[in-house]
Amino acid sequence: MSLYANTPLVIALSKGRPLKQLLERLDQLDISPIEDMLVSRKLVFDTHHSNIKLMVLRGLDVATYVDHGIADIGMVGKDVLLEYEGDGFYEPLDLKIAECEMMEAGMVNEPALPRRLRVATKFTQTAKKYYAQKGIQIDMIKLTGAMELAPVMGLAHRIIDIVETGSTLKANGLETKAHVCSISSRLIVNKVAFKTKQIAIQSVIDALGLETG
C-alpha cells in the first residue's frame, strides 16, 4: 500500500467477537500487527508498517478516540455509533462484519399494554428515537445485561436489544415484536484526519470497499 507508506496512521478496533474478522480484513490490506492482538493484554500495537499503529478498545471508546483525533480510523459497530453523541467523524463504509438486527421484543402472548410503556435497554438513544417516531410515550430503564429478564420479572413491558438467532429470547418466553434497525461493523474516519491525510485514508477506504464489495 504505497499510497500510505509515509503517512502516520492510527487505527482503532473494537475488542470482542468481531476483532478477529476486523484483523483479517486489515490483513488483506497488508496491515497486520507484529504481536497477536487476540491474546495480548496490550492496547496499542505496532504493525509491519512502521508508520501504522493499531489500538484495541471497547466500542464506545473507539468512537471517542476517533472523534477526538487520537485515532485516524476506527472500526466499530453501528449500535455504538447510534448511541454516540459526538460528530467529529465520517462513516464512509459498511464493513459487513458482525451483521445482526436490533429488535423490539416482549413476552409471548403478552397482555394488553398500557399507553405508556416501560422499556428496558442499554441502547437508550436509539430506543428514544424509535418510540418517538412511532408516537409512543415510554419510561426508559437502562440495563447493561440480561435484558430478557426485564419483561419476565415485570420490570419492563418491552426491551430493545440486538438479536442474532433469537434463541435466548425464545428460551425466556419472549419473541420479537418489531425490527428497529440493522447492525454491522462500520468504518469511521476523523474529519480533520480525512483532510490532512486524505490520500492515505482514502486508499484504505477504497481497498476495504473492494474487499467488502
Handedness of CA 126, 193, 59, 29 (dihedral sign): positive
Confidence of residue 132 (pLDDT cuts 50, 70, 90): very high
pLDDT at 212 over 80: no
Quick one: average pLDDT of 114-118? Answer: 96
What predicted TM-score, i.e. pTM, was given to this entire model?
0.90
166-194 mean pLDDT: 96
Report the greatest alpha carbon distance in the chain: 63
pLDDT at 165 over 90: no
Compute the average pLDDT of residues 179-190. Answer: 97
Q: How far is CA 35 from the centre of its chain?
A: 24
CATH topology of domain 100-182: D-Maltodextrin-Binding Protein; domain 2 (3.40.190)
pLDDT digits (tens, 9 = 90+) for 33-88: 999 999 999 999 999 998 999 999 999 999 999 999 999 999 999 999 999 999 99
CA 158 – CA 160 distance, rounded (Å): 7
CA distance 160 to 177: 10
Confirm whether 2-98+184-212 and 100-182 share one CATH topology. yes
pLDDT greater at residue 122 or residue 211: 122
Separation of alpha carbons 74 and 20, rounded Å:
15
Domains of the chain, residue spans: 2-98+184-212, 100-182
Q: Using 50, 70 and 90 to split pLDDT, how confident is the model at 2?
A: low
The answer to whether 86 and 67 are in contact (CB under 8 A) is yes
DSSP string, 28-39: TTT--BSS-TTT
Q: How many angstroms separate the CA atoms of 111 and 157, rounded?
A: 10
Question: Which class is domain 2-98+184-212?
Answer: alpha beta
| CA–CA separation, 121 and 195 (whole Å) | 37
Give percent of the chain with pLDDT exceeding 90.
Answer: 89
**72 and 10 in contact (C-beta within 8 Å)?**
yes
Query: Tell me, what's the pLDDT at 6?
Result: 80
pLDDT in tens, 75-115: 999 999 999 999 999 999 999 999 999 999 999 999 999 99
Distance CA 125, CA 80 (A): 10
Residue 171 identity = A
